[in-house]
Amino acid sequence: MVAHSTSPLVGHWDLDPNVAYLNHGSFGATPRAVIEEQRRWQAKLEANPMGFLESEVYAAMKAAREALAEMLSCDADDLALIENATSGVNTVLRSLRFEPGDEILVPDHAYQACRNAIDYVADRWNASVVTVKVPFPIAGPEVVMERIMAGVSERTVLAMIDTVTSPTGLRMPFEALVEALESRGVAVLLDAAHGIGMVPLALDDLGASYTTTNAHKWLSAPKGSAVLHVRKDRQAEIHPLTISHGMTFPLGDTTRFRHEFDWTGTRDPSAWCALPFTVEHVGGMVEGGWPAIMARNDALCLEARAMLCERLGLELPCPPEMLSCIATLRIPETSVEAEGGFLDPLYYRLAERGIRIPVWSWPSPAGRYFRISAYLYNSIEQYHHLADVIEEELAAERS
């Protein structure tokens, strides 16, 4: 089997043909034409920095918000362009005020960087963090619903919920969770880092107080492009991490939220400016556009997961309805102990052999885990190659 992809779409990317790139989920990967579009915006900026940054950029950013708002079924004015989901989560947490004893609820599958932000803020305000244990393997979404809602108390003011979890690749029943939590007066911070371009999101219908989603993951936009959606009734309390001119600009016919987020100091906005092109270009790669792309990636992930489980004798950790374009699997016990650290020795050996996937230890249940992603440039042959190489490496560990 070969490492390179036989996907007819791989030609849109400049990925190294000697690498089986099976980890779109961590940082995305941006097609050549999108990078060229981003460079065109950079050239425009540098041709006339003052003209661009003092006027033209606002129209470009508005177009970017509108392109994403159409996909997210929300008002473009409720979106703030930000650099990544980590900063989206921090923006919300560090804007909010908490009373001593307030509870912030978070499942134990949360992304560690975002969990760190919760711990930091809770400590500063003397708030409590309630960690809800979600089993893995898991029987179905109803288990998540039941566990999370059982963690809600009179003191719960905020819950951070993922669309799709990072360590375990579980598509959470986030629509039902948002409804149940918000209707009990718990504000939801939806960490949709794995969101736009991966799972359908209709933010106005969803009704979460705050949602942050990365464009640089499943939309394949340039790095440093994400949005934060804040429900209108919550906008007055949310400020960017960087306080700048927007706080005192004359209001005119716009909102303080817009002013504050549209200018946070001099920076390169080209990743955002390239968003309308990205939505069109990547969306045009498959007949049927983004819904067809999401379905295609989901199907490839499901097929690859089933094959890997069968060939490597692994347990299927969740039903298909809890799977999107990433899947996490647990490696059976081997002679190599999973250490408390982050990356497993197998990660390095696969990287040396030209396969890029994360492999790490996870405490619940303790073991060694790896995660695959499925994207437009991947093909099933690459996962067969992964199975071959994992088989060989695990056999070598045992011998």
Find out whether 25 and 217 touch, Cβ atoms under 8 Å.
yes
Find out whether 305 and 327 touch, Cβ atoms under 8 Å.
yes
Q: Pick from 12, 115, 194, 305 the residue near ligand PLP by CB under 6 A.
A: 194
To ligand PLP, the closest distance from the beta carbon of 58 in angstroms equals: 24
Q: Does 80 bind ligand PLP (CB under 6 A)?
A: no
Sign of CA dihedral 258, 259, 264, 267: positive
Return the number of the residue (45 or 144) whose C-beta is nearest ligand PLP: 144
Q: Pick from 20, 22, 104, 114 the residue near ligand PLP by CB under 6 A.
A: 114
Q: Which stretch binds ligand PLP (CB under 6 A): 73-81, 92-100, 109-117, 293-301?
A: 109-117
CA distance to 297, 343, 375, per residue, from 304 (Å): 11, 22, 12
Q: Give the span between the Cα atoms of 100 and 125, in whole angstroms.
A: 6
Q: What are the start-end ranges of the H helices in 132-201?
A: 141-150, 174-183
- The site string for ligand PLP over 153-192 (x = CB under 6 A, - otherwise) reads ---------x---x------------------------x-
Q: Does 210 bind ligand PLP (CB under 6 A)?
A: no
Q: Pick from 26, 42, 131, 361 the residue near ligand PLP by CB under 6 A.
A: 26
**How many residues lie near ligand PLP (CB under 6 A)?**
13
Secondary structure letter of residue 372 according to DSSP: E
To ligand PLP, the closest distance from the beta carbon of 137 in angstroms equals: 19
Tokens of 337: 């102990």
Find the length of the chain: 399
Closest CA to 213 of 342, 28, 58: 28
Q: Does 84 bind ligand PLP (CB under 6 A)?
A: yes
Return the number of the residue (4 or 217) whose C-beta is nearest ligand PLP: 217
Secondary structure letter of residue 245 according to DSSP: G
Q: Does 193 bind ligand PLP (CB under 6 A)?
A: yes
Q: Give the span between the Cα atoms of 70 and 63, in whole angstroms.
A: 11
Q: Mark residue 313 as left, alpha or beta (left: phi above 0; alpha: psi -120 to 50; beta: remaining).
A: left
- The site string for ligand PLP over 212-251 (x = CB under 6 A, - otherwise) reads --x-------------------------------------
To ligand PLP, the closest distance from the beta carbon of 348 in angstroms equals: 20
To ligand PLP, the closest distance from the beta carbon of 222 in angstroms equals: 12
Closest CA to 132 of 151, 104, 145, 119: 151
Q: Which stretch binds ligand PLP (CB under 6 A): 81-89, 135-143, 252-260, 330-338?
A: 81-89
3-state secondary structure at position 86: helix
* Residues that bind ligand PLP in the complex, under the rule CB under 6 A: 26, 84-86, 111, 113-114, 162, 166, 191, 193-194, 214
